[in-house]
Each structure stands twice: as structure tokens, then as C-alpha cells.
Structure 1
């Protein structure tokens, strides 16, 4: 507990003086949600504490115009406002229909309210942040660390729960999540993002160094390439079917959004669906 307190104080000091550095650490250290403790009767994680610190400091630093910024966001994006409102209302109602009210309230706080509040604070603080280096870069670095651990586990079994390693019928890696699909859920969303970053840097004719400078842009590109080399392999070793499908769907979406690859992607997608439905050995995929 002493180390957690010391880290919290240092993180608070850093975030107050360099808000962007605090945001960077927040996204870099996402696995700290595994460090659980209690503040009185309230069970929390270290990641939640970091989110609270970022939100409180962001609120204090932008108190003068936070209401105006949020109202402008909601007015400009009506569908976003309606969808978010309905989503949060549904999540709130579901708390009171749960069998375990305390557990449901904890999930409501951690999975719905805190992420949404963090989004609002980051939106209000966008003038102090560079999305590429303060959010995307630490996310991809965290992804590389996760993928690296999963690949290492495949050859050693280190930290893999008994149910997923010693059982010959599973033999799946889990990284630090404790369950294999956690690897797929996290990494699958980062692979299309990394592909987009590499494409923009190497192949785009309108390369503006992403507003982070030439050196910073190449660092980001290098990190994205490393992620692309490790993440799919980690998801494969986790045997996360959903993760692999998510990666394929993300890549397909990128191809559809690009005018030069749109029609080849459509043709390839139709061909793949035809193979799935016409090949007896693959009919179970449906």
C-alpha cells in the first residue's frame, strides 16, 4: 500500500505539471487495473485512481470553459449525444435489475461512467494533448508489451492459469489478463490502428508528419510496425477466434474506406464468404 500511495502522489505531481505526460502514463499502464485495493469500503484499482487524478486535474485546469466545450460537443454531434445518453441510461437501469447490486454498481462505475467522464475531460483538454503521441503511441506500446508477454508465455507457460495451460485441450496464453480472450479483445482493436498509421506514413501522398515532427512520426511508425509483427501472433497463440475475426474485420473496414482498395476488398470478401458457405469443413464457422 505504501508503494501505491507513493506512486499516486508522484503521478498526481506529474499530471499537474505536465498533463500530457499523465495522460501518456495512463494509457501506457492500462494493465494496472489488475492492482486492486480498497479505499475504505470502496474497492478500486490503480488504473481507476489514475483516471480520477487525470479527470480531477483536467477539470481544475479547464474549469472556466469546460461547460461551454461539452455543450458545444453535444450540440454539434446530435447522434452522438442521443446514442450516448440512451446507452448510459440503459447501463444505469441494468444495475437495478442485477442480482448482485454491489457488483453491478462496481461494473457500472468502472466500465461506463469513468470511461465516459475520461473521454469528456480529454476532449476538453484536447488543446494540451497531441493524440498521436499522448494517446495512440502509449496504447501501441502497451499492446507490444501485452503481445510480447503472450508470445513469451507460449514458449514458457509463465503466469498462465492452470485451466488454460496444463489442459492439453486448451493450451492458450492469457498475458496478464487471466483469460485468453482478453488478449484478443485488446490487441484486435490496435492492429487496424497500427496499419492505418503505417499506411499514412509510408504510402500516403499527403504525409504531414502527423504534427509530431519527423523524428516523432518515424518513432510512431516503428512502434506500429512492431505491433503488427507481434499482436496477430499473440492473438493466434491465445486462440481467440473473436480476436482473429476482429482483426480481419478491422482490416476489411480499412480496405473498404480506401477508394483504391474498396472494390478488391468487396470481391475478396464475397469470395471468402462463398468459401465458408460452400466448403463442408468450414460450415461450422457459420
Structure 2
């Protein structure tokens, strides 16, 4: 029987690329979107309404899949939002919303699917995090924190669920050519702000990196590799060579030396 796969945030970007790729591989794919009826494009997989911050919508989507397919083999936690800004000037409610979507949201979905996977005596959960979650990046500190929290929690969760035959893995993407910047919360570049020039320049650089990013089908191929693996790794990194190498540098360099590299990269010194 074909594996049944659920991808949160499947209507665009990385989630859409994964859904299309896995559909071509003859998996039974369901994606989610907060407003699937508003999507003009026809996708090769079913889109269900879900907001990962609203538990009832999660339960309804999963119940629909179980009712139609009788099982759920793979969850890909992809739904997320971007957020940029000086930490001092980022509204607290926006910080909370970022954690609600990027951290609590995936946990909500994992909690909802685990009883079904436990009954099946097996399943796979893949959490899409970020290379930004391996380091505190200037003017992306909140985003980095949400993804770092999910990375670490997955490490613990993976050990807790191993006894039930359930596997978990993280995939940390770098910059990919998607529309994430359009949906990202940007703290405004304020007139008179002490961060105005530095933040404005960094914001332009971040958007340029996304525009020149990798093809998201690379992420889809790694997801397929994990699905077909008997023993997935804990962490996967996907992206440009230097972005992946930055994680290695953080591990081996003294803290201040690494900080100086970031400051120079973002033209903050």
C-alpha cells in the first residue's frame, strides 16, 4: 500500500515542492493550508484546511485523513512563518505569534498524530527547521530561536517515541527560492531608530539571499531519502555549501571569532 503523507503548509514554497515531488513518486499526499479555497492553482495532491495554532483544525484534518485512508504514515511539519527585526523593537505579540506557529504549532500536530502512529506500531515525523536555528543571526534572532527550539525538542521527542517504532528527523534548510519573504513579519525600519541603517541594510541582504536561493526540489529529494531510509539520521542540512559549512565553523571556532565572521558578513563592523 502507498504510504500516506501529511505536509503542513503545503500550498507554496518548500511544502508545495515536497508535495508535488512525493505525488510523482506515487505516495498518497495531503497538504494543508489555512485557506485552501483561496488557492487558484490546482495541485496534484489534496489540500485540507488547517491552522497549526488552532488545535481543532489539526484534529479535523487528521480525522479526515484517517477516515479516508485508515492510516497516516508520515508527518512533515513544514508550516512556519518568518520574522525579522531588532529584538528590542520587535513587538512582543509578534514574537509570541512566531513561537506559536514555528514551535508550538509543530508540537500540536505531533501530539495529534502520535496516537494514530502508536496504534499502527510505526510512523515517521520530519520537522523542517532552519540552518538559522544553529546560530543567533542579527535581526533574525527570534526566527533563529523558534527553529533552534524545535531542533532541540525533536532530539528529545525522538528518544521518547523510539520505543513505539516511531522515527523522527530534522531537516534544516538554508535559503531557498520561495515566497517566504512575502509572508514574513518585518519589524518596520523606524525613522530615528538606532538600528535604522544596520537593520535596513541587513533586511535587503536577507531578501536578496532568498531571491538567489536554491531550488526547493532539493528539499523534496532529501525528504524522499528520509522516507525510504530504514534508519533516518537525526539532523539533515540542505542548502548552499557555505551555509552548511557555517554550522561546522560555529562548532569549531571560538565564540568571538565566529561572531566577528557574522558581523563582517552582515556588514555590521
TM-score w.r.t. length of structure 1: 0.30
Q: Which has the higher strand share?
A: 2
Q: Which has the higher helix share?
A: 1
- Relative contact order, CA 8 A, sep 6+: which one is greater? 2
Which structure has the greater CA radius of gyration? 1
TM-score w.r.t. length of structure 2: 0.32
